[in-house]
C-alpha cells in the first residue's frame, strides 16, 4: 500500500523519536534512554556512584562490585555499571546496606593488597569509613615486581584484578592479547602466556594498559625509576647508554 507523504513523515518521526523511560534514583524522578545503565543515568544527573573496575574505555564487566545499588523488588544489590535502567525502577544509591557492602569490599581490598598507589580508592576508604585493619589475618598478595621491558614495570602486589589492562590489550583497543588472567581462585593473577617476559609476547608497548590501571600496578618505567631516586640523567644513560644533552638557554 502506498503511504501518503504526511503519513510517511509521521512514520519516520515515530521511528526517530528518542524513546525515554522514567525511573527514580534517590527519590528523584529521572528520564533515561532505554539501554542506559544505572551508572550512566546517575552520572548524567549528578548522582555519584563509585567505580573501580569500570572505565569508560573498556567493556563493563562488574568485577569489583563497588558500584552496587539497592533496587526495589530485587533481593540482591545490583552493580550499576552493567544493570540497565528500566521503566519505573526505584533505585537507592546510599542506603546503609549499600554503604556496608562498599565498605566491606574496600576493607577486603586493603587487607590483601598494596593500595599505596591508588589515591582514588584510598579516598573511597575515607568516605566509607573503611577499617584498614578489619581482616588482620588475611593473606596478602605479595608478588615479586616484574621489570622485564623498557617501558613499564608490573607490580602485581598492587593489582586488584579489575581486568581493565586485559581488556584494552584485547578487543577494547589494541587487539594484541599479550596479557590475560591466569590461575584459579586465590591464585588468579594477570600474566602472559607461559609466564613469558613482555618482550617475548605480542606486546607492542603501546602503554594503554598502563593508562587504564587504577592502582599503580602498571607504571611507566621512567616514573618508577624517578621514585626510586634516580635522576633524569641516570635514567637517560640507562635507556640509551648516552648522557642527555644539556638544555640550551633560550
Ligand atoms: S594490573 Fe592494573 S589494570 Fe590490570 S587488572 Fe591489575 S589493577 Fe587492573
Ligand atoms: S565498577 Fe561496577 S562492578 Fe566494578
Rounded to the nearest integer, the mean pLDDT of the chain is 90
Question: In this structure, are residues 107 and 132 in contact, taking their beta carbons and an 8 Å threshold?
Answer: yes
Evaluate if residue 218 carries a pLDDT over 60.
yes
Q: Which ligand 2 atom sits nearest the alpha carbon of residue 67?
A: 2
Could you say which DSSP state residue 110 is in? H
pLDDT at 239: 75
pLDDT in tens, 221-250: 999 999 999 888 888 887 776 666 665 655
Q: Which residues lie closer than 8 Å to 12 by C-beta, 6 or more apart?
A: none
pLDDT at 238: 77
Question: In this structure, are residues 120 and 128 in contact, taking their beta carbons and an 8 Å threshold?
Answer: no
Nearest 5°: the CA angle 81, 206, 242 is 140
pLDDT at 243: 64
Calculate how far, in angstroms, residue 169's C-alpha sits from the geometric centre of ligand 1.
11
Share of the chain above pLDDT 90, in %: 81
User: What's the average model confidence in pLDDT over 82-109?
Assistant: 98
pLDDT at 233: 86
Q: Which residues lie closer than 8 Å to 22 by C-beta, 6 or more apart?
A: 29, 30, 31, 32, 87, 88
pLDDT at 18: 61
Q: Is 199 helix (H, G, I), strand (E, B) or coil?
A: helix
Q: Which ligand 1 atom sits nearest the alpha carbon of residue 161?
A: 5
E-state strands within 63-217? 68-71, 78-79, 90-92, 152-154, 180-182, 189-191
- Least-confidence region, from 6-15, 109-118, 154-163, 170-179: 6-15
Report the relative pairing of strands 78-79 and 180-182 from DSSP bridges. Answer: unpaired
pLDDT at 247: 56
User: What's the average model confidence in pLDDT over 47-69?
Assistant: 96
Calculate how far, in angstroms, residue 53's C-alpha sits from the geometric centre of ligand 1.
9
Calculate how far, in angstroms, residue 244's C-alpha sits from the geometric centre of ligand 2.
44
Q: Which ligand 1 atom sits nearest the alpha carbon of residue 209?
A: 3
Instruction: Report the predicted TM-score, pTM, of the whole model to 2 decimal places.
Output: 0.86
User: pLDDT: is 217 or 15 the higher one?
Assistant: 217
Amino acid at each position: 500500500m502506498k503511504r501518503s507523504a504526511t503519513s510517511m513523515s509521521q512514520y519516520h518521526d515515530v521511528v526517530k523519536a528518542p524513546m525515554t523511560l522514567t525511573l527514580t534514583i534517590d527519590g528523584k524522578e529521572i528520564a533515561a534512554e532505554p539501554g542506559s545503565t544505572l551508572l550512566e543515568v546517575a552520572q548524567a544527573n549528578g548522582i555519584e556512584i563509585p567505580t573501580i573496575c569500570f572505565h569508560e574505555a573498556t567493556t563493563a564487566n562488574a568485577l569489583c562490585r563497588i558500584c552496587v545499588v539497592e533496587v526495589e523488588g530485587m533481593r540482591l544489590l545490583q552493580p550499576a555499571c552493567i544493570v540497565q535502567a528500566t521503566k519505573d525502577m526505584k533505585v537507592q544509591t546510599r542506603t546503609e546496606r549499600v554503604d556496608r557492602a562498599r565498605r566491606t569490599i574496600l576493607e577486603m581490598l586493603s587487607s590483601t593488597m598494596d593500595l599505596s598507589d591508588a589515591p582514588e580508592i584510598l579516598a573511597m576508604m575515607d568516605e566509607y569509613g573503611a577499617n584498614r585493619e578489619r581482616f588482620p589475618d588475611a593473606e596478602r598478595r605479595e608478588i615479586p615486581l616484574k621489570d622485564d621491558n623498557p617501558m613499564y614495570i608490573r607490580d602485581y602486589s598492587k593489582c586488584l584484578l579489575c581486568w581493565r589492562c586485559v581488556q584494552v590489550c584485547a578487543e577494547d583497543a589494541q587487539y594484541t592479547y599479550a596479557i590475560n588472567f591466569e590461575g584459579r581462585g586465590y591464585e588468579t593473577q594477570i600474566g602472559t602466556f607461559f609466564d613469558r617476559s613482555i618482550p617475548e609476547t605480542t606486546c607492542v608497548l603501546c602503554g594503554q594498559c598502563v593508562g587504564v590501571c587504577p592502582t599503580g600496578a602498571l607504571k611507566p618505567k621512567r616514573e618508577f625509576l624517578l621514585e626510586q631516586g634516580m635522576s633524569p640523567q641516570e635514567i637517560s644513560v640507562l635507556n640509551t647508554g648516552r648522557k642527555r644533552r644539556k638544555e640550551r638557554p633560550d
